[in-house]
Amino acid sequence: MDPHAQRTVPDDRTGPVWLMDRYQSRALIVGALFTILLIIGAFLGPNSSDHFFRAYLAGYVMWTGASLGCMALLMVQHLSAGKWGLIIRRPLEAGAAQFPLMFLLFIPIIFGMKHLFPWIQGGSLWNAQNSDAHTIMLHKAHLMMNVPFFLVRWVLYFVIWWAFSTTLRRWSLQRDRDPLGRDWQRIFENVSGIGVVVYSLTMTFAIIDWVMSLDPTWYSTIFGLIYLAGQGLTAFSICIITVLLLSQEEPMRTMLRKTEMHDIGKLLFAFVMLYAYLSFSQWLIIWSGNLPDEIQFYLHRMAGNWVNLSRFLILFEFAVPFALLLSRRLKKQPAFMVPLCALILFVRIVDMYWHIEPSFRTQEREITFNWMYLAAPLAIGGFWVFFYIRSLKSRPVFPAYDAQMEEILEPEHATA
């Protein structure tokens, strides 16, 4: 289609079912296969159960973050009313629909809490990591870090997230059936404004519970913001891959202009820089402060072979994407953007491993990589993608009667 010609909304807004079925079946196979391997691996070797739960936690945080990132970006899009969000709104809604799945997938972590959290007295980590500093900190944190309150918070987080995501998704379909429009934009803005604040608070507390509490003697006030940026990076990568694959067929082929491809590429670029900036800021503040309780976080990740993994993350989570996304031309090329986003998702998995594994004192000098650290994110991710595509198939791939629709359909101007 001539990019400078006037476009019309396709009569059929349903995505290519055959294409989505293909990827959905592949995702199910990947999820089932690696789940079987994980279950087998959990019983192989003396420390296999420890590796299983650590790997599972890393994969779980990664894919729960994908749903949270989708929900947050959906709210931001409603607040900004940007036309960039019209193309990726349904992928964002599909990603935000996976909270019931992630709620159920948290159950194995409950059974493995004694293998993960040192604040559980009597757990396998209590004796291994117990020291004067740990004992003092654990007693101070006991009011918050105890199993009953931990589980109450877990349920509360998901109830809140599910309520916001379900409300926005339900209203989105109602908006599609309302050609007169009414005052939907104001309604979405009011809910999303509250939702962004609630998301920021609940997500921060969840990350404290699930990741920061792995080492009760360490803390960072910027930790939640780092995960917020990481979730946005993950969600954008998933949505870009989805939209570009759907654009192989109608109706997305007609709707996706080079202009919107460039817009979402710029937003991905922004999240790459934001994540790097926040991560560097945390390192700079802690390193310059040189306080024993804080600096141990980085000493553990700069000792032995861990420093090489840290360099890998600097290179492939910031330097390479940053350099490539500087190009205006490359941001408009699906053949470039899909592999780049896939690389970012892989590096996000490595990042979860880097954040979680060194928190365990037995691994603070040399990397002990177990294949389950790759299998767990693939197992959870396979089921996440399966239900993500199912949600995507349940509604048109882009909304109708939206205020930005006319602008999307305008002919593109020639660009360099």
Task: Please report, for the chain, the start and end positions of each structural domain, with discontinuous segments joined by +.
Answer: 35-397
User: Within a 10 A sphere around the Cβ of 193, how many other Cβ atoms?
Assistant: 13
| pLDDT (0 to 100) of residue 125 | 46
- Residue 137's pLDDT band (boundaries 50, 70, 90)? low
pLDDT of residue 150: 94
What letter does residue 302 receive in the DSSP assignment?
S
Gap between the Cα atoms of 270 and 235, Å rounded = 13
- Predicted local confidence at residue 416, as pLDDT: 46
Mean predicted confidence (pLDDT) in 183-202: 94
Give the range among 127-136, 320-329, 332-341 with minimum mean pLDDT.
127-136
Residue with more model confidence, 230 or 289: 230
Residue 398 and residue 9 in contact, taking contact as beta carbons nearer than 8 Å: no
Type of residue at 348: R
Question: What's the pLDDT at 126?
Answer: 43
Q: Give the angle 114-367-369 at the CA atoms, nearest 5°.
A: 70
Q: Is 113's pLDDT higher than 90? A: yes
DSSP 45: S
Give residue 11's pLDDT band: very low, low, confident or very high (50, 70, 90).
low
Give this prediction's pTM: 0.92
Encoded tokens for 176: 């599609």
pLDDT, average across residues 103-127:
80
Grouping H, G, I as helix, E, B as strand and the rest as coil, residue 403 is coil
Asked if 171 contacts 96 with a C-beta cutoff of 8 angstroms, the reply is no
Q: How confident is the model at residue 253 (pLDDT cuts 50, 70, 90)?
A: confident
Residue 251, preceding peptide bond in cis (omega within 30° of 0): yes
Q: Which of 15-24, 78-87, 118-127, 384-393 has the lowest mean pLDDT?
A: 118-127
Q: Retrieve residue 141's tokens.
A: 């944190």
Read off the tokens for 408. 């999307």
Q: What is the pLDDT of residue 3?
A: 54
CA–CA dist 138, 120 (Å, integer): 9
Output the pLDDT for position 127.
Answer: 45
User: Tens of pLDDT along 380-412?
Assistant: 999 999 999 999 999 888 887 776 776 666 666
Residues 208-234 have a mean pLDDT of 93
125, 118 contact by CB (below 8 A): yes
Q: What is the mean pLDDT of the chain?
A: 88
How far from each other are the two terminal CA atoms of the chain, in whole angstroms? 19
Classify burial at 87, counting beta carbons within 10 Å of its beta carbon; exposed 0-12, middle 13-18, buried 19 or more: buried
What pLDDT, in 10s, does the model give residues 140-179?
666 778 899 999 999 999 999 999 999 999 999 888 887 7
Residue 6's pLDDT band (boundaries 50, 70, 90)?
low
- How many degrees, rounded to 5, is the angle at CA 205 between CA 202 and CA 210? 120
Does residue 136 carry a pLDDT above 90?
no
Interval 95-109 mean pLDDT: 97
